[in-house]
Every structure is written in C-alpha cells, then in structure tokens.
Amino acid sequence: MRQTYTATSISPEIAERLRAMPKVEIHVHVEGATDAETFYQMAQRNQVELPTDSLEAWKSFFEFRDFSHFIQVYTAAVKCLQTPEDYALMIERLYKRQAEENIRYTEAFLSASFLKQKFQDDEILDAIAAGRAAGEAKYDCRINLIPDIAREIPDSQDHVLEFVMRGKERGLFVGLGVGGLEVGYPPELFAETYAAAHRQGLRLVAHAGEAVGAESIWGAVNTLKAERIGHGIRCLDDPKLVEVLRQHQIPLEVSPQSNYCLGVVKPDQPHPIHKMVDAGLYCTVNSDDPAMFSTSLTNEYLTLAAQGFSWEELWQLNLNALEATFLDEVEKDRYRDEWEQFVRTVS
C-alpha cells in the first residue's frame, strides 16, 4: 500500500478489528476494482495487445505511479473488455474481492457511456445478470450496480438513461450516476437527464468536488438533486456549502487514498475528512478504484486510523455507509443486526 501522512501508530488489535468488521461500500468502480490478472486474462482471450509482454510485467505496470500513468493503465485495461462475457467475469470477480474484505454490501459504479459503442443493450444486460448470479452463488455478499454517465461524453446521457431503465426493470440497477472528467463538464449539462431519472424512480448520485471546487457540488445538489455526492472534499472551500450539506445530511462518499494518488490531497498532509467529520458532515469511507490505486477498503480505514481516528469514529463511518445505501429499511435491519452482533464480540 502507498505511504501517506501518518500521525500515530495502529495497534494490532485495532488493525485486526478493522479487517474483521462487516463493511459497506458505496463508492467503488467495477472497472477500477478489477485486478491486473483478470484484465490480462481478457487480453489473452481477446487478442488485445498490452504495453507489456508478460503477466508479471503487466502487474508491475498496473501499480499506481502518478496521475498520467493511471490514465495509461486505465486506458489499456478497459480495452481488454471486448465481449459481454468479459463483463460477466469482471462483475463476478468484484464479488470475490468484496467478500475477501468482509464487505457485506456494495453499491458499485459501472461505466455505461462506452457500452453502446460495443454492445447491444440486451446482450450486456444478460452478461451483467450472469455475473451477478455467479457472484451471489459463490460469495457471501451482495452488490447493486449504479451505471454512470461519462461527463466527457455528454451525448451518451440519453442512451445511458434508457440502458439504466431497462436494467432497473430486470432488477440489475438501483440508480444513475455521473463521473469522469469533472473539469469542463459541469453538472448542469445533465440536468434534464437527472430530472427524467428522478421521475422514473431512479436513485441519484454524482461525482463532484474532487477536481473542481465547491461550485461542482452546488450544481450536483441544486441542479441534479443528487442524494449522495461522490468525493465532495472540496466542500470545505465554501462555509455556506458546508452548512447546507450539514443541515441536509447529504452523504459524502470519501475515498482517501484516491485523493492522495490523484494529487487532490498532498501526501504529507492529513486527509480533510477529519475536518469534514468535525464540521458535522455525513461522511462515508470508500476505495474508489482500489486495484488501480493499490488500496482496499480495509486499507482506507487503516489510513484513517493512522491519522488519529479512534475505533469508535471509524465504526461510525462504517455505520454511516450502511445508512446511506439505497436499501430499504427491512434490508438495512438485517445488516444492523449483524453489525450489533459484531460489536458485542469486540466490546
């Protein structure tokens, strides 16, 4: 794992507790959680040329170095996705990854703007259904998917909404998101699509306040009516925005190592999530693109523990993630009972 700011050492007891605790994650990208070996298998099967000539070299290339290199890795990796079966495998492998970290429930993003260029809707929906069925049969965890619009391809938004609605009818998707390049593509470009999605009963989320400042978050909240904000750490630039987010308790999907890797937070500085929590904001902890950022959800919690968060604070962040999900209350109760049993074992 990457080295970032630390303020204290982590006791073995707390480290083990963080590994063992049942977790929820609400901001992770399916593509960015897929490991190097899986992409390599796809490349071999699909005869896609990679920038390396062996699995070991590809694994080394896959390790995060800087933002420019991350773009190279991401671009090379997604080119390996050539068939519907690749998507089925990728989703099944996400179940495996989440189960290994005791992430009991996940809401994961799937980049949908690129799918129309390669596949018919029905064939990719069938593949997604197959991947979910295989994952649920093998691993003791649940995943719901939130397709998102790539900001830099705004012309794709109508098709993405249509795709999401078709998937929702099949029980595959729970909401709509927007991600990708934040600079130059403000939330207002997607206002009509989000309004239509709301009318059709989709839950709404939006990446905002990572590469662009508070104005991006204002747009996501006021124009898109987003129920959760992906990242959102730039809210601290605007005290009025902080107060609005605090009053309405809009969940913020914070991903510390992602912020460090992409230079949003300097590696020698503490992550601003502590300031956000102290300001009364509704924060959750997530891994974003864990395979590509050499992290994991457990490592995100360990990062915060090393920056002075107490066990009680970290557990509350985990509780926040559960409450911020789009599960209904009956489903949340099932996880609340499991959470309570775990707490009794460690108290």
Q: Tokens 């938004």 identify what position?
A: 157
**Quick count: other Cβ atoms within 10 Å of Cβ 158?**
13
Catalytic residue check, 210: yes
Catalytic residue among 210, 253, 313, 323: 210
Amino acid (one-letter) located at 227 = E
First-last CA distance in the chain: 29
**Contact by Cβ (8 Å): 115, 76:** no
Query: Which residue has tokens 């991401």?
Result: 74
- Among 223, 236, 148, 146, which Cα is nearest to 192's? 223
- Under 8 Å between Cβ of 243 and 281: no
Judge residue 122's burial from the number of C-beta atoms within 10 Å of its C-beta, 0-12 exposed, 13-18 middle, 19 or more buried: exposed
Catalytic residues: 210
